[in-house]
């Protein structure tokens, strides 16, 4: 099936999806590179707009382009992933209802984001897509070019590795409100 575009809809689609795409990229790339990768993704989406056939959801197509752009970036730089401080965790912390909650949520978000950066890139990406972006298994599988079972396995392993990383590098506890708090272990 081919969708014929008349040029309308591109701006509306970008307005709807670019904030989420930018957050996704910000969680997967170093802060200094985020803007360039977002711009490159925008350019690729704009250039490919006429070729979008509608075989998948528009958001899946756009996120796949963002994912491919990130892969290109890392392949060219041969760098390890670094989770940026401006990721979705920081946005979640902004919704706290008190300065104390904000500080605790920010601390927990920073802790989790730093530990996500220690995961293999494909595990971190699967966790971010599933847990932060709220993507369904089928959609993640399409974006990653693999089966749903493979994504389920990847998420299971990613959660286990993240749990091990957190247990080895952080002291975690539930506070009096039953909210988890995380403090890096002292390395002496």
Residues 29-88: tens digit of each pLDDT: 777 788 899 999 999 999 998 888 888 888 888 888 888 888 777 766 643 333 333 344
10-184: CATH topology is Butyryl-CoA Dehydrogenase, subunit A; domain 3 (1.20.140)
pLDDT digits over 109-120, tens only?
A: 666 777 777 888
Verdict on whether the full-model pTM lies above 0.75: no
- Using CA atoms, how far apart are residues 39 and 54, in angstroms rounded to an integer? 23
SS3 97: coil
DSSP 7: S
Q: 171 — phi, psi (to 5°)?
A: -100, 120
């Amino acid at each position: 099936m081919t969708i014929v575009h008349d040029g309308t809809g591109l701006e509306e689609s970008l307005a709807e999806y670019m904030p989420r795409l930018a957050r996704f990229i910000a969680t997967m790339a170093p802060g200094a590179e985020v803007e360039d990768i977002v711009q490159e993704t925008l350019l690729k989406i704009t250039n490919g707009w006429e070729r979008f056939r509608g075989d998948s959801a528009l958001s899946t197509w756009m996120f796949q382009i963002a994912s491919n752009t990130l892969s290109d970036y890392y392949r060219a730089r041969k760098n390890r992933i670094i989770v940026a401080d401006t990721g979705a965790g920081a946005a979640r912390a902004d919704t706290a209802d008190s300065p104390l909650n904000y500080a605790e949520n920010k601390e927990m978000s920073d802790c989790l984001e730093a530990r996500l950066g220690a995961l293999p890139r494909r595990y971190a990406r699967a966790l971010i897509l599933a847990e932060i972006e709220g993507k369904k298994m089928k959609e993640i599988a399409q974006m990653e070019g693999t089966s749903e079972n493979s994504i389920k396995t990847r998420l299971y392993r990613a959660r286990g590795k993240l749990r091990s990383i957190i247990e080895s590098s952080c002291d975690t506890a539930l506070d009096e409100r039953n909210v988890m708090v995380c403090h890096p272990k002292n390395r002496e």
